[in-house]
Each structure stands twice: as C-alpha cells, then as structure tokens.
Chains A and B, each alone.
Chain A
Amino acid sequence: MTQIALEQPPVKQIRDATAWARLKVNRDWLGFWFMLPAAAILILFLAYPLGLGVWLSFTDARIGRSGTFVGLENYEWLWGDNVFWLSVFNTLLYTTVASTIKFAVGLYLALLLNENLPFKAILRAVVLIPFIVPTVLSAIAFWWIYDAQFSIVSWSLKHLGLIHENINFLGDVWNARWSVIFANIWRGIPFVAITLLAGLQTVSPSLYEAATIDGASAWQRFRYITYPLLTPIIAVVMTFSVLFTFTDFQLIWVLTRGGPVNATHLMATLSYQRAILSGYLGEGSAIATAMIPFLLAAILISWFGLQRRKWQQGENND
C-alpha cells in the first residue's frame, strides 16, 4: 500500500512543472518581469556606454583602432597636464557661480510670478523663452553680442560715450569666463524659476493665512513656510541645474571653443577635443571619467538631503 501511494502519478506531474513555468507565474517574480524592459534600456543605453567609457579611459584607444590596456597612464598624464587642471578649475568656477546665481535669481523670479500679477499667464510663458530656444541658436546670438568688433553692447556704450574701445568680451581671459557664465545663467534661469514656481503652487494658502493671523512678517512667512515646504523641489532642481551646468558643452563650443588660451575649456569640451577632434579616445574618456566623482558628489548631496525629513519638512519635524 505505501509503495503504491508513493508511486502515484499526480506527484510525478507536479515534478514535471519546470522551474521556468513556475517562474513565469510566480508573484514574487512578476515585478522582475515588468522591470525587465526598462532595465534592458538602462543597461543598453546608460550602463554600457558608461562602462565602456570608463574602460576606454584605461586604454590607449585611438579613433579607428581599439587600444591596449595601459592602466592609469592616461590619468597620470592628466595629473601633470596644466590644461586639464585649468579645465577642472574652469568647470568648478563655471558651475558654482552659474548655479548659485541661477538659483538666487530663479527663486526670486518664481516668488514674483507666484504673486497676483497682471498678465500672469503671459509673463510665465515669456520667462520660459530662453529655455525654449535651442542652445546652439542662443549661443550664436551671444556670439554676436560678444563679438570683438560688432558687439551690440560695445556699440551702444560707445555711442553713449561711456567707453571708447570695444569691450574685449571673449578675447580676455576673465572677460571670457564671465561672458560664458552670463550666457549660461541667462539660459538656465527659466528652468529653475518655472520648476520652483510649480513647487510654490503646491503650498497650501491656508498656511499663509494662519501665519498672517499669527502676525508673521513676509520674511517669516518665507522662512518658516515657503522655504521648508519648497526644500525637496529645491534639492531636485539644484541637482539637475548643477548637473546640466557641469556638463555644459554647446555654449562654450559655439562661443569660444575653449579659448582664449584654454581659459574657458570645461572638462566636457576638453574631453571632446581630445577624444574626437584629436582622436585620443582613451585620454578623452579619462577626462570624462574624471567628471564622474564630481557629478556623484552632487547627486549624493541631494539624495541624502532628500532622505532627511529635516530637509523635507522643516527643522523640528524629526
């Protein structure tokens, strides 16, 4: 009897269900299946190129031939390369100054647009214009504005009798730096302003009403209601803003190509010049890879910031 029971066919059938068949219907695996297409896209178009870029930075690959592994040779060379360090300095300066001003002016604009202004809808649309214009087009416009001979700014000031010689916008080291930073700020403000404005709209008016009844001043309303409630958005906006600024390429390329004498070369433009124009894929990749730690730092700061409830909901709400 026992032997017969053990050899019953149904038991055998259950064993026939393959691991694959079970995986297909297993609820625990369902999530995995749904994530698979997205993961495939991310791996194919993000992780793989990134991994390849990092790998190339350890080789002496040139355009047209795959290189051999050279270890840290590219990085050692860059360590002693004045132009590379200059580009790091330029990138940090560019990012810090431009992001700070973009944030300050963007926040101010957002607060302004959040008030009840006449023609509010039109004004909000107008603010977006610099962001809508393709970067290359606005860069070309700035190229004319900054032209050594035909600058509209120089022309106007000359006609007003304020200056006698054209301003050397892009030919002087520091002038060139401030000029490209200004162009970047002009272009980047709408993104910050409009996103912060969206954040402002989510703040419940009743909080302001309550605060007003309690006798809070305008500054106190901003400091204790607007600012804490806006922090998560600020963190996201500024992360993006810093990332965009840090990796900027088009503006610089059109305006100066990294000149004068490499004074406006950013890491991104230097990487392009070395990797594509000069054909040193390995070295260019090393410069691009050297940007990763900076970008990671920017992301981590906001990531940990977002995790903290203090950041999200004000200081006393632990």
Chain B
Amino acid sequence: MRDFTRRTLVKGGTAATAVGALTGPALLNWAKAWAQSSPFKPEAGAQLSMLRWKYFVQSEDDAFVKIMEAFTKATGVKVTISRESYEDVQPKASVAANTGAGQDMFWGLYSLPFLFPQKVLDVSDVADYLGKKYGGWVPSAQVYGKGTGGKTWLDIPVCYSGSLMNYRISSMEKAGFKEFPKTTDEFLAYATACKKNGTPGGFALGHAPGDANAWAHWCLWAHGGNLVDKNDKVVINSPETAKALEYSKKLYEQMIPGVLSWNDASNNKAFLAGEIHWTDNGISIYVAAKKDPTKQAIAADMNHAYYPIGPVGKPTEFHLMYPLLAMKYTKYPDACKALMAFMLEADQFNAWLIASQGYLTHTLNAYDKNPVWTMDPKTAPFRDVAKRTLTAGGLGSVGEQAATAISEFVVVDMFASYCAGRTDVKGAMSDAERQAKRIYRS
C-alpha cells in the first residue's frame, strides 16, 4: 500500500504542481487555501489508504471520490480507497489492528474504534476544530466519538445512515390511517389492517446487521427494556423486555412470511417488487425507485416516517453510525487528520450530503441547513436521525462490549427465537442474558 519510491513521490509532487499551474487558481483556490490555512499539515510525501463501507447510493460515492481527488490536488497526498460491504469492514479493521498492518484509515460501523481503543489515533484536535467551526456535535455523535465519559476522540463520527419507516401511502390510507402511526399500539393496528388488505410489511429477523438490529433495538427500548443499565450491568431479563417480546410476536404475525431469513437486502427487493408495503430501511429504497423508470409509481406512492413511539414515551430509534478512524500504526498521522478535517468542511460536506440524497445524515449541527433536507420533503425525516438516535449499548457504554453484542445479534436473536416459536419469553430472555453476561463480564 505505502510502498512508494522516490520516483512516484517526485511524480506525485510534480503532478500536483502541474495541475495547479495548468488549471489555474480558479479550480483549486479553495482547496489550496484550505491546505495552507488548515491547522493540519500532512507530512511531506505522505500517502494514505482507506477502507470504507461500500456505498448504497452511487452518487454518494462519486461525491466522496471527488472530495478525495480535491484533497490530493490540494495537498499532494494520494488517497487509495478500497470498499467492502459494511459488515466486512469490521473484521478487516480488527485484523489490521491486531497485526499492525493494513489501511491507514477505516470507515466502518457503530463503535468500530472501541473494539481496539488502544490501537487508534487520538483525533481530539480534529473533532474540537470541526465542532467549534460547525455549531458543535450532536450529543449522540459525542458518545460515538469519545465513548461514554471519555475525554479523547477515538474517531470522527462522520455521519449516520438513518433507518426509518418506509411505507406505501395508498395502502396506509386503505388501512384507515391518514398519517403514519405515531405509537406502537397504532402501528400494530396498522400492520394488522395492512395484512388483512393483502398489503403486508415486514422487518428483517435474520442476521441482517443493519435492518434487524435497528428495529429489534427500537422495539426493546420502546417498551423500556434494556440489555444493560448505565453501569453496564446486564438487565435484559425484565418485565419490560417481556412486553417488548410479546409486542414483537404480535407484529411478527402480521408480517409477510419469510422475514426470519431476511438479510439487509431482502426488504429492499421485496418493497421495490411491491411485495411489502412497510419496512424499516434507509433512504436507499426511495432512491432506487426514483432512479428506475419502471418504479416511478412506487416512488410517488411511498414515504418515510419516524419509528412509532412506545410506552416509554420518547423516540427510541437506532441508526447506523459511520465512524472514521485512523490507526496508530499509520506513518502519516497528520495526513490522516488533515483528510478527516477536509472531508467535513462545508465546501465538501454540503455537496456530499446533497449527493447522498438523504442516505447520510450529518452529526454537526450547522448542516441542519443543508438544502437536501428541504429539496424533497420525503427526505426530511432523515434530517433528524442524529438527534433522535440512541447509541449502541443503549443506557450502557458505547464500548467494545456494545459492539460485540450487536455483532453477535444478541437482541435480534432474542426476538427471532421468540417470534419463531423456538423458545418462550423466559427462555429467550435467559438465553440473551447468558450471552450478554459473557460479553459484559469484567
């Protein structure tokens, strides 16, 4: 990856100068000025490599690549990007952390840096710089950046990918609802009516890292259940969890058959084929429908909504966080920091948010004003996901135990085994409790 020679360095250097000279200051003046005024100066001759999650919305990746190119032109630092399906970033990053060799930067999921906190670069200066400049970080992003009660930033919580309710407007109206249900009770009535009308929906109950974890945690938290309390003591075996399980089973009975086998892609396919009329997902279904000439009817007939609020009386959503971290072993820590700062500066980030069409949600308050949230009213609900989300681990710490519990599907499997009728409520809770206690043992 970093096996550059003197020759490539010279070439890189001259190329950067040549481009600057040829295209004149017009194209590059901002990026160049940024490079000069930025507090983060890359090391001479630095080259970076980054492994990022594979895009769901092509235009988002195009905008991302443009940012990387601008960075290279402004600073002379070449950035090599590789992409992996988002759940595969974690094993690669873990192995890299373990062996001390691999990409300089990893852009993964949830609390990735907390799996190996002592191996990642402290980026507090970047976080402070961005926070001050752009209206501060939302609280959930601070938790993902520093951990619960942590002082140093282990990563830059770049953005969320919101997982909200996707629904068909016509079938909702046919089910007798003018707007999407706001409470869990209404939601169950809605799901029941939808099934009766032959327009069922469904939530993934297989090992779907994104969709299944999102709704299972929502359901657990909405009823007051929690995997752990604020001291990371396992409290999953509780009457509240039992209520959540009972509710999920009633809901499961109203879902389309087969959800136990669903992965993250299954509900997208089924929704776009008109097989299901409600599910939880990012904005990718809508984006795909808009782009496909044969799916215009679905795009026009669908909308997004917040998750219904449960007995606890407040939002209990769980959105995907994408933290960007740099490894301590990198030869160019300053270049990593410079890139992190560059990505989130308004001139880059605004264009990127627009290109992602609502798939990504910012974590810096100033970006609430980005036009992407008003251009299409159907993206509007996604603006608030950073403010509505709870963090991995719920009440507990966002550390490696929380990350492990999510990747082990402790909560998802608890719901799945009860919904599938493999265990009773008590069995499902005690299985999850046993697993969680192992994960959270001190």
**Which residues of A lie under 8 Å from residue B407 when comparing CB positions?**
273, 277-279
- Count of residues in A whose CB is under 8 Å from the partner chain: 36
- Count of residues in B whose CB is under 8 Å from the partner chain: 43
Chain A 20-33 per-residue mask, 1 if CB under 8 angstroms from chain B, else 0: 00000000000000
Q: Name the one of B95, B115, B261, B262 contacting A169, with C-beta atoms under 8 angstroms.
A: B261
The answer to whether the Cβ of A280 comes within 8 Å of any Cβ in the partner chain is yes
Interface residues of B in 204-258 (CB under 8 A from A): 205-207, 256-258
| A173-B420, A256-B261, A277-B407 given; A65·B118 CB < 8 A | yes
- Secondary structure dominating the interface of B: helix
| A63-B115, A149-B266, A279-B404 given; A259·B416 CB < 8 A | yes
The minimal Cβ–Cβ distance linking B253 to chain A, given in whole angstroms, is: 14
Q: Are A257's CB and B206's CB within 8 A?
A: yes
| A64-B115, A277-B91 given; A172·B260 CB < 8 A | yes
Q: Name the one of B87, B261, B434 contacting A170, with C-beta atoms under 8 angstroms.
A: B261
Q: Name the one of A62, A171, A257 contacting B259, with C-beta atoms under 8 angstroms.
A: A171
**Which residues of B lie under 8 Å from residue A62 when comparing CB positions?**
400
**Which residues of B lie under 8 Å from residue A280 when comparing CB positions?**
404
Q: Are B404's CB and A278's CB within 8 A?
A: yes
The answer to whether the Cβ of B43 comes within 8 Å of any Cβ in the partner chain is no
**Which residues of A lie under 8 Å from residue B413 when comparing CB positions?**
261-262
The answer to whether the Cβ of B142 comes within 8 Å of any Cβ in the partner chain is no
The minimal Cβ–Cβ distance linking A69 to chain B, given in whole angstroms, is: 17
The answer to whether the Cβ of B186 comes within 8 Å of any Cβ in the partner chain is no
Interface residues of A in 217-267 (CB under 8 A from B): 256-262
The answer to whether the Cβ of B174 comes within 8 Å of any Cβ in the partner chain is no
Q: Are B400's CB and A149's CB within 8 A?
A: no
Interface residues of B in 371-428 (CB under 8 A from A): 400, 403-404, 407-408, 413, 416-417, 420, 422
Q: Are A150's CB and B95's CB within 8 A?
A: no
Taken together as a complex, chains A and B put the C-alpha atoms of A62 and B400 apart, in Å, by 11
The answer to whether the Cβ of B438 comes within 8 Å of any Cβ in the partner chain is yes
Taken together as a complex, chains A and B put the C-alpha atoms of A274 and B273 apart, in Å, by 35
Task: Give the one of A63, A166, A257, A258 with max B CB within 10 A.
Answer: A63
**Which residues of B lie under 8 Å from residue A146 when comparing CB positions?**
261
Q: Are B258's CB and A64's CB within 8 A?
A: no
The minimal Cβ–Cβ distance linking B269 to chain A, given in whole angstroms, is: 7
Chain B 77-106 per-residue mask, 1 if CB under 8 angstroms from chain A, else 0: 000000000010011001101100000000
Q: Are B115's CB and A149's CB within 8 A?
A: no
**Which residues of A lie under 8 Å from residue B276 when comparing CB positions?**
149
Q: Are B116's CB and A259's CB within 8 A?
A: no
**Which residues of B lie under 8 Å from residue A278 when comparing CB positions?**
404, 407-408, 439
| A64-B98, A150-B269, A278-B408 given; A173·B259 CB < 8 A | no
Q: Are A148's CB and B408's CB within 8 A?
A: no
The minimal Cβ–Cβ distance linking A82 to chain B, given in whole angstroms, is: 6
The minimal Cβ–Cβ distance linking B101 to chain A, given in whole angstroms, is: 13
Taken together as a complex, chains A and B put the C-alpha atoms of A256 and B266 apart, in Å, by 12
Q: Name the one of B98, B261, B438 contacting A171, with C-beta atoms under 8 angstroms.
A: B261
Q: Are B205's CB and A260's CB within 8 A?
A: yes
**Which residues of A lie under 8 Å from residue B206 when comparing CB positions?**
170-171, 256-257, 259-260
Q: Are A276's CB and B91's CB within 8 A?
A: yes
Q: Name the one of A77, A149, A258, A259 contacting B256, with C-beta atoms under 8 angstroms.
A: A149
Taken together as a complex, chains A and B put the C-alpha atoms of A147 and B258 apart, in Å, by 8
**Which residues of A lie under 8 Å from residue B416 when comparing CB positions?**
259-261
The answer to whether the Cβ of A168 comes within 8 Å of any Cβ in the partner chain is yes
Q: Are B262's CB and A63's CB within 8 A?
A: no
Q: Are B257's CB and A148's CB within 8 A?
A: yes
**Which residues of A lie under 8 Å from residue B205 when comparing CB positions?**
260
The answer to whether the Cβ of B275 comes within 8 Å of any Cβ in the partner chain is yes
**Which residues of B lie under 8 Å from residue A257 when comparing CB positions?**
206-207, 263
- Which B residue's beta carbon lies closest to that of A262? B413
The answer to whether the Cβ of A107 comes within 8 Å of any Cβ in the partner chain is no
The answer to whether the Cβ of B270 comes within 8 Å of any Cβ in the partner chain is yes
The answer to whether the Cβ of B119 comes within 8 Å of any Cβ in the partner chain is yes
Which chain A residues have a beta carbon within 8 Å of chain B's beta carbons? 62-65, 77, 81-83, 146-150, 165-166, 168-173, 176, 256-262, 273-274, 276-280
* A-B contact sample (20 more), CB < 8 A, given A170-B258, A257-B206: A64-B94, A64-B115, A77-B438, A148-B256, A148-B266, A148-B270, A150-B269, A166-B257, A169-B261, A171-B206, A171-B257, A171-B260, A173-B420, A256-B206, A261-B260, A261-B413, A277-B91, A277-B408, A279-B407, A280-B404
